[in-house]
């Protein structure tokens, strides 16, 4: 029979290992967001488009949608892409055979007239920047996460905007837009954002 004295060191060791594993996982998550690979020019480094697609996929795990944003418990997570066909192609490859919170992930190329039909995320590329202002208010009412990749997009109503800083893809966040959309953003996401705009 083991005594209390003999079990304490073993228990302490288990706790220490668990804490170390947790800390390591957290550091890996933060590192993945804050130090993305430098963008390449056709060599081994990833292109800006592929990195942005990876970011969009990562965002899904750090955003909480209200239950009514989905038609059912097993409805897919639908990402609409407007004005960014190259990114849509990259995103289709990134999300292939992946799930988020047990939901399948679908990527749809959309036009302005149907940009918000049945989507949970709307990516607005620079080619469609003029449409953002008109879509943002409707997106907020439907709890659609709007992601963009051009200057001043937060002013136009985007929740998350991708930008390139020192040859690296980073992102900025509007908490006001997230609140209007009834979306909850993880503190881990905010902690590694390049810039967070408070209400």
What are 136-149's pLDDT values in tens digits? Answer: 999 999 999 999 99
What is the distance, to the nearest Å, from the Cα of residue 33 to the centroid of all Cα atoms in its chain? 10
For the residues 82-106, what does the mean pLDDT come to? 96
Instruction: Please tell me the predicted confidence (pLDDT) of residue 1.
Output: 44
Q: Give the CATH architecture of domain 48-197.
A: 3-Layer(aba) Sandwich (3.40)
Cα distance between residue 144 and residue 163, in whole Å: 20
pLDDT band at 39 (very low <50, low <70, confident <90, very high): low
What are the boundaries of each domain within the chain?
A: 7-36, 48-197
**pLDDT value at 34 more than 50:** no
Cα distance between residue 20 and residue 15, in whole Å: 9
**pLDDT value at 20 more than 70:** no
**pLDDT value at 29 more than 70:** no
pLDDT band at 14 (very low <50, low <70, confident <90, very high): very low
Instruction: Please tell me the predicted confidence (pLDDT) of residue 31.
Output: 47
Please report how the helices 85-95 and 48-59 are oriented relative to each other, as an axis angle in degrees rounded to 10: 50
At 119 the three-state DSSP class reads coil
Instruction: Please tell me the predicted confidence (pLDDT) of residue 196.
Output: 98
What are 43-81's pLDDT values in tens digits? Answer: 445 799 999 999 999 999 999 999 999 999 999 999 999
Average pLDDT value for the chain? 85
Burial 83-93 (b: 16+ CB within 10 A, else e): bbeebbbbbbe
DSSP annotation of 125 reads -
Instruction: Please tell me the predicted confidence (pLDDT) of residue 93.
Output: 96
């Amino acid at each position: 029979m083991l005594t209390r004295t003999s079990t304490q060191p073993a228990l302490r060791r288990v706790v220490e290992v668990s804490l170390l594993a947790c800390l390591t996982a957290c550091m890996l998550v933060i590192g993945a967001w804050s130090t993305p690979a430098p963008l390449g020019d056709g060599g081994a480094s990833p292109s800006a488009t592929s990195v942005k697609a990876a970011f969009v996929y990562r965002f899904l795990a750090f955003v909480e949608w209200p239950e009514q944003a989905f038609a059912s418990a097993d409805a897919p997570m639908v990402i609409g892409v407007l004005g960014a066909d190259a990114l849509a192609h990259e995103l289709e490859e990134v999300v292939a055979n992946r799930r988020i919170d047990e939901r399948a992930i679908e990527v749809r190329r959309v036009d302005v007239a149907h940009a918000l039909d049945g989507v949970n995320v709307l990516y607005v590329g620079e080619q469609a920047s003029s449409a953002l202002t008109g879509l943002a208010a409707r997106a907020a009412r439907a709890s659609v996460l709007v992601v963009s990749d051009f200057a001043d997009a937060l002013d136009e109503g985007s929740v998350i905007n991708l930008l390139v800083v020192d040859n690296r893809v980073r992102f900025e966040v509007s908490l006001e837009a997230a609140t209007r959309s009834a979306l909850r953003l993880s503190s881990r996401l905010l902690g590694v954002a390049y810039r967070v705009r408070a209400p």
